[in-house]
Amino acid sequence: MSTSVESRQAKMIEELRIFIKKVLSDPTIAVKSMEVARKYRGQPNADELIAREISATTTIRIPENWSEADRMFLDILHDVLDDEEALY
């Protein structure tokens, strides 16, 4: 594995670690994130709208230039919504 790949992976792991700490310290983050994702689901530029509102209304900050961890978080929100929809 190259050093640049290892460095990217280490950065992503650290970002996810910080994110998980925030979610565990403030359980409203998960609830609010899901509410925001539901609100914008299916809209053009949904990920951008979701990222902006989550950044504005929680302690989670998703910058304009998304990292791999930011993209993963947004993908997971969509996965949870898909699972939720499949139940109904």
**pTM for the whole thing?**
0.83
CA angle, 17 then 75 then 18, to 5°: 10
- What lies within 8 Å, CB to CB, of 33 at 6+ separation is 54, 58, 60, 77
Three-state secondary structure readout of 7-69: HHHHHHHHHHHHHHHHHHHCCHHHHHHHHHHHHHCCCCCHHHHHHHHHHHHCCCCCCCCCCHH
Which pLDDT belongs to residue 1? Answer: 59
**How does pLDDT run across 1-35, given as a tens digit for each residue?**
578 889 988 988 998 898 889 888 998 999 999 99
Q: Please state, rounded to an integer, the average pLDDT across all residues of the chain.
A: 91
Amino acid letter for position 69: A
**Phi-psi sector, 63: left (phi>0), alpha (psi -120 to 50), beta:** beta
**How does pLDDT run across 36-82, given as a tens digit for each residue?**
999 999 999 999 999 999 999 999 999 999 988 899 999 999 999 99
